[in-house]
Each structure stands twice: as structure tokens, then as C-alpha cells.
Amino acid sequence: MNRNKIVAILNRKGGVCKTTTTHNLGVALAERGYRVLLVDCDTQRNLSISLGINRPDEEQYTLCELLQPLVDVDADDVNIHNCIHHLENGLDFIPNKQALSTLEKQISTLDFRRECVLFDALEDIRSDYDYILLDCMASLGMLAVNVMMACDTVL
């Protein structure tokens, strides 16, 4: 892989180690000195929980809050840096909450750039990281379309 890549770990089937792969790949890259951001794009929030966010739905700033202003003009803008958790092992991480499933429905109703909401949200920090790893849901809905549009590579 080349530097500065967004990689999605995506599969329509559940239980095929998408979260485990995302987590372990992130740790391995960070141990080799790469700047790595993990993003939990799954409404089941398993990556958030595995990284120590025991109650992700109670987090103030998550992927959900980051995307909301791109979908709803009345929502307050959220600085992406407020959403990023800095972990002890050198990884950075954006958690998620279950409300993202509702937001996915809102994204589906957009007339313009609905496939690019996640791409737009990550654009400001893309150059801050060597790798951004997206842990994806087991579906091919609008969130998965956004993930595929935002990434350079799908595993």
C-alpha cells in the first residue's frame, strides 16, 4: 500500500472479522510508525466498544455528529478534531453511535452529493494520516456507498 490511503474493510456478511481486521491492521500499522485513524462506520459499534468506548451512544462527538451538519443545514457544525480520540497505542479513533442508522435514512433523501457525505467529512484530515481505516457495516446501503466513495481501497 502507498502512504496516505483510506482503506475500507467491507463485506456484506456479518461475523467475518471486519472489526477484528480493522483493529489489528490499525495496531500493526501504528507499531510500524504510521499515523493511523480508525473510523467506526458500523451502527453495531463493535470497533468503538473494542477500543474502550463502553457506552458509545453516550459520546458527545462521534461520526454521527460529524456527518449530521453535512445532511441537515440546521445542525451545528462539528470540528472533526473534537470527534477524534487519541489512544495510548498511537492510534487515533472516531467512535460511532447507533443513531447513525437514522442518519443513513436522511442521507438517502439528499438530492446532491449523497454518496459523498463521508468523503467530504474526512477530506480536511486526510493529509494528517498515512492510513484511515474504515470499519464497515454488513450491508450495502447508503452508508456503504459513502464508504466506497470515500476510500481508495476495499479489503
Indicate the pLDDT class of residue 80, thresholds 50, 70 and 90: very high
Residue 59 grid cell: 459520546
pLDDT of residue 1: 43
Residue in the block written with cell 473510523: 39
Architecture of domain 5-154: 3-Layer(aba) Sandwich (3.40)
2 pLDDT more than 60: no
Cβ of 7: how many Cβ atoms within 10 Å?
A: 19
Dump strand ranges (E) for the chain: 5-9, 36-40, 85-86, 91-94, 131-135, 153-154
pLDDT of residue 112: 85
Distance (Å, whole) CA 102 – CA 106: 7
DSSP symbol at 53: -
Task: Decide if 29 contacts 64 (C-beta within 8 A).
Answer: no
Between the two ends of the chain, the Cα-to-Cα distance in Å is: 12
Indicate the pLDDT class of residue 109, thresholds 50, 70 and 90: confident
Phi, psi of 85, rounded to the nearest 5 degrees: -95, 135
What does the domain layout of the chain look like in residue ranges? 5-154
43 pLDDT more than 90: no
Residue 105 grid cell: 435514512
108 pLDDT more than 90: no
pLDDT digits (tens, 9 = 90+) for 128-143: 999 999 999 878 889 9
